[in-house]
């Protein structure tokens, strides 16, 4: 089956989708395909090309990482 692929300069695959000729008969599919292709190309260009700093989580927050990231629930208001 035919495939559309976007591969970065380093060989990383950013998008890999199989397509059929019949898929292109619908306008909705064509519009969504163009969106997906644009996103994949943008991703393949990398954050430096887009001026976006990538999110890099801290590898080890120590202790219970979830409790450090989520604030404690607010105290119930006494009636």
Q: Give the pLDDT means over successive 10-residue stretches in the chain (79 positions).
A: 91 92 92 92 76 55 52 52
**Residue in this structure with the two tokens 């991703």, named with its chain if needed:** 43
Q: What pLDDT score does 71 carry? A: 52
Q: Is 46 left (phi over 0), alpha (psi -120 to 50) or beta?
A: left
Q: What pLDDT score does 55 carry? A: 54
Task: Return d(Cα 39, Cα 24) in angstroms, integer.
Answer: 19
Nearest Cα neighbor of 22 from 6, 43, 1, 39 is 1
pTM for this model (two decimals):
0.56
* Tokens coding 21: 């000729």
Q: What pLDDT score does 10 carry? A: 86
Q: What stretch of H or E contains 68?
A: helix 65-69
């Amino acid at each position: 089956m035919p495939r559309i692929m976007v591969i970065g300069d380093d060989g990383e695959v950013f998008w890999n989708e199989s397509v059929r000729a019949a898929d292109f008969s619908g306008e909705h599919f064509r519009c969504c395909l163009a969106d997906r292709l644009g996103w994949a190309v943008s991703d393949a260009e990398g954050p430096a090309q887009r001026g976006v700093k990538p999110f890099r989580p801290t590898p080890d927050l120590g202790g219970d990482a979830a409790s450090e990231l989520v604030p404690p629930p607010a105290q119930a208001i006494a009636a």
